Amino acid sequence: MNFAKSGVRLPPLPSIGDLLRLYRLRALKRLSQNFLLDSRVCDKIVKVAGPLEGGHVCEVGPGPGSITRSIIRKSPAKLLLVEKDPRFTPTLEMLQEASPFPVQLVQGDIMNFDMADVFDKDHVRPWSDRPPNVHLIGNLPFSVATPLIIRWIYAISERTSAWKYGRVKMTLTFQAEVAERVVSPIMTRSRCRLSVMCQNWCHVEYRFTIPGSVFVPKPDVDVGVVHFVPRLVPIIDLPFKIVEKVVRSLFCYRQKYILKSVGTLFPVALREKLALRCLEEAEVPTTARSFQLTLPEIGRICYAYTSILRDYPKLETYNHRLRSDVTLEDDPLIEREPPESED
Binding site for ligand SAM (CB under 6 A): 31, 33-36, 60-63, 66-67, 82-85, 109-111, 139-141, 144
In the complex with ligand SAM, the residue whose CB is nearer, 122 or 220, is: 220
55 vs 138, beta carbon nearer ligand SAM: 138
Closest to ligand SAM by CB, 143 vs 287, is 143
Tell the smallest beta-carbon distance from residue 136 to ligand SAM (Å).
Answer: 12
- In angstroms, give the least distance from the CB of 287 to ligand SAM: 43
Question: Of the two residues 105 and 242, which places its CB atom closer to ligand SAM in the complex?
Answer: 105
Residue pair 72/79 in contact by the 8 Å Cβ criterion: yes
The sign of the dihedral angle between the CA atoms of 124, 239, 108, 178 is negative
Q: Whose Cβ is closer to ligand SAM: residue 153's or residue 258's? A: 153
Determine whether 229 is exposed, middle or buried from the number of CB atoms within 10 Å of its CB (0-12, 13-18, 19+).
Answer: middle
Nearest distance in Å: CB 64, ligand SAM: 6
Q: Tell me, rounded to whole angstroms, the distance of Cα 253 from its chain centroid.
A: 24
Q: What are phi and psi of 89, to 5 degrees?
A: -55, -45
Q: Which residues of 75-113 are buried (b: 16+ CB within 10 A; e: fewer)?
A: bbebbbbbbbbebbeebbeebbebbeeebebeeeebeeb
CB-nearer residue toward ligand SAM: 92 or 258 = 92
Burial letters for 145-156: b for 16+ Cβ neighbours within 10 Å, e otherwise? bbbbbbbbbbbb
Q: Give the length of the chain.
A: 343
Shortest Cβ 241–ligand SAM spacing (Å) = 23
At residue 253, what is the residue type? Answer: Y
Nearer to ligand SAM, 20 or 301 (CB): 20
> Which H helix or E strand runs over 93?
helix 89-98
CB of 53 to ligand SAM, least distance (A): 22
Distance of closest approach, residue 294 Cβ to ligand SAM, in angstroms: 34
Shortest gap between Cβ of 193 and ligand SAM (angstroms)? Answer: 22
Asked whether the beta carbons of 201 and 168 are under 8 A apart, the reply is no
Phi and psi of 132, rounded to 5°? -70, 170
Nearest position to ligand SAM, beta carbon: 61
